[in-house]
Structure 1
């Protein structure tokens, strides 16, 4: 690849391209930490080190590729993205004094739309998918003469993302495998190209959402496969089809691609937050999800797992926290029928206190098919502070004569 020219899509990239990209991006990016995680190591049976790109500027690795491309093109830019790529392009453009326009799907996260605008980009909401937004962005770029910055199908973008590999080898030269989230494949293509070019012999493993496993299917066929839908909470890796370029690179350098469920991603995010104090977006936690769910056999080995970003919608994060608190038996939701008298409500509150159950939410209903005349339904979300297991808590409710009609919490 030559400075100032259009990328040559036929030749892919080399480790030298990644090294050159690192010299370009190094002044503007953070050299993010690579830290051992005791909790993830314990849960996976491996010695796990987390590369924390959630601490990168704009909240993800995307600034690396965007800045590497735009610093060479020096032209105004148009991009399409549902989230992180848009923020990376907007920030890179701002740093270089360029104008940026980003086309985002109509239902993109309002938080990510606002963040993209705050970094200086003009945002157009168009279409219902990344593909529709991409088609619109390409048309605008052609009409205006701007550079179209594809999220992954571009050698400069791939080389920029690969600079993470430069830092990892500098931070740790003895690891048996590296686990990388996969969407369109630009990130894993860049890192794997650099590592293999430097003689790395360990395993390089990609992780996709099981609802968006386009790279896994493409590697089976040897050509890009386009999925019908990609309905997953991991919007950062919800890509219907990789490119021929990224498929070719992954065929050459990547050992395998595994998939994880939304529930496994949700659990990994909760674990990272609670045990590691690490805020990860769903896509960023895919690698950790694969480790702690046992999708990858790495017991007893040194493993690097990439947390690729931390741009998570707060509403989604709160849902994930509540879901995991319920599933892990730390909170539970209960509805029960009592007489519609003040003394019955008092008795219920006294029971909560006696059993060290903190009221997180409580409301009552007087009307419903399961509520008789003179009765009321109390519905409460309760946090457990005592040592009683949930079966004992249920027995105590029964002993008070409360008729339970709803009980949610995985350990009941």
Structure 2
């Protein structure tokens, strides 16, 4: 009998101080996990069982794509590594987020939490919102997505195209989780968070499972890191299936709360992180994702805004594909020599390709400096 995990609940009661620069690192977020139920046994260990990734793979069969692993002789020569790239920019809705969103909503329906026509709410800078909107459409539930008013238009229009309602918020003046909680209370809806949820993590972990199954043995895998759903899911898959592979998280240097959290041994917050990688501009990891990262991730490295743009250019010039800034950070770290050693076989996640055409062209031509946002 498959183990069932109780959906995560959390609150935001703690406060943190702010700085004028938006870079002061303080306090611990108050996202707290509920007790996890596995079958008839209750336990509070937040580490995800690998069996939940296998269950997620079953739910996702026939829904998500088994995205390809790309290779390039030029990239191998430039990096002095044998590189495989997991092209999640080819995934349904344009990013890996479809894996976690669909798995979470489908599991909630399996558990009787959701019925046809009931409502869900999520908060997202774009990719998770698109994935929730499409998953809700497929599973016949109503979706509302809380998005920053400055979210890329390509992501906003996609959310609308899947039939979801958008509620805007000011990312500087308002807390998106508080806005989402208020909206959910008004609608009587269930919140599907973007990363701090076991079902979401399990869905993202299927990406790691596919990498392992489709590639030769790897020395290291580099994974884009925002809130930690993808990294913790992939780390869980590698811990079970390829424990000798080093798992490396990659963040923008100006949004490196995960790196500092791992070094400090506790959750750290960056108030208003500023980076071109809008999908990685999270203030902190979640408590569930951090618990997995502490146990199953070898290290977290950072890349500069310029290195991110160079990786985007490389994907376009050599692979002829479009990768958004958040999707290019893992490859950026590989190209900068921050993942593995010379001669190693490494994997990098290309986690998404949802970027406005005009912004993509501007970044490739002009570089990162004029585009850095909060």
Under TM normalisation by the shorter chain, which class is it? 0.7 to 0.9
Counterparts in 2 of 1:320-339, with a 5 A limit? 320-323=363-366
- Residue 299 of structure 1 corresponds to 342
Tell me how far apart the structure 1 counterparts of residues 4 and 190 of structure 2 sit (CA, whole Å): 14
SS of 2:270's equivalent? coil
Flag structure 1 segments of 5+ consecutive residues without an equivalent: 325-412
- Residue 266 of structure 1 corresponds to 309
Between Structure 1 and Structure 2, whose CA radius of gyration is higher? Answer: 1
1:94 to 129, 133, 137: 137
With normalisation by structure 2, the TM-score equals 0.83
- Residue 28 of structure 1 corresponds to 63
Tell me the C-alpha RMSD between the 2 structures: 1.7
With normalisation by structure 1, the TM-score equals 0.76
Structure 1 pair 96–26 and aligned structure 2 pair: CA distance change class (3 A): same
- Residue 12 of structure 1 corresponds to 47
SS of 1:305's equivalent? strand
Tell me how far apart the structure 2 counterparts of residues 130 and 34 of structure 1 sit (CA, whole Å): 41
Q: CA deviation at 1:27?
A: 1.8
Q: CA deviation at 1:181?
A: 0.4
Tell me how far apart the structure 2 counterparts of residues 156 and 276 of structure 1 sit (CA, whole Å): 32
Counterparts in 2 of 1:11-410, with a 5 A limit? 11-74=46-109, 75=114, 76-129=119-172, 132-323=175-366
Number of residues of Structure 1 aligned to a counterpart in Structure 2: 324
| CA deviation string 1:24-76 (max 9, x = no partner) | 11220000001222222111100000100000000000010001110121332
| CA deviation string 1:201-227 (max 9, x = no partner) | 111001000010010011112121111
Q: Tell me if structure 2 keeps the 8 A contact 1:223–1:244.
A: no
- Residue 335 of structure 1 corresponds to none
Q: CA deviation at 1:4?
A: 8.5
Q: Tell me if structure 2 keeps the 8 A contact 1:184–1:239.
A: yes
SS of 1:248's equivalent? helix
| CA deviation string 1:225-281 (max 9, x = no partner) | 111221100001111111121111111010110000111101110111011112100
SS of 2:145's equivalent? strand
Flag structure 2 segments of 5+ consecutive residues without an equivalent: 9-34, 37-43, 368-374
